[in-house]
Structure 1
């Protein structure tokens, strides 16, 4: 799930997954963090989900995916668009 919060010239995007699906650590990776899995790991929230926050320029478009333990890559069903390999988000 993707949550967005407009902040002046930036948009805070929160990438949200269920706490245990998939099991183990998960990171959101994309062109906004040079596909670095250490940059935005998802952290548990009190509501049974885990999330990572990323501040992106408003009116921009970015590719992203999730990377879980065991080199398991997967997409977000709620991405604005899928380009065949990656999800895309528009801010």
Structure 2
């Protein structure tokens, strides 16, 4: 999942583009981003014609040094699968069933 960051000069935020490559989607119809920076509320990612999924989110940079995120694949039939970002800044144990991806927001 390519991860692009653009730090905003006008406010303490970074514009983060999350993408899930078609090969990683498992032919999912929907993909949701779950993240600590928005209290783990699902953000639906847009499906592109190429088969990739993408969303752009402004993440505050003045609240903490790092944020965790993971994404959920919603497969046909309602089955769910969790996966980590293959290109995350780091990984951190989630205390339940593995690791979460970490997004570093400090410049």
Smaller-chain TM-score bracket = 0.7 to 0.9
Report the aligned-residue RMSD: 1.9
Alignment of 1:72-87 (within 5 A): 72-84=81-93, 85-87=99-101
State how far apart, in whole Å, the 2-side matches of 1:54 and 1:13 are: 5
Normalised TM-score (structure 2): 0.72
**Structure 1 residues without counterparts, runs of 5 or longer:** none
Higher relative contact order (CA 8 A, sep 6+): 1
Equivalent pair of 1:63/1:89 in contact (CA under 8 Å)? yes
Measured after TM superposition, the shift of residue 11 of structure 1 is 0.4
Q: Which has the larger radius of gyration?
A: 2
SS of residue in 1 equivalent to 2:87: coil
Structure with a larger share of its residues in helix:
2
Aligned length in residues: 89
- 1:31-85 Cα offsets, whole Å, 9 max, x none, are 1121122xx1110346553211111123631011001111211100111000132
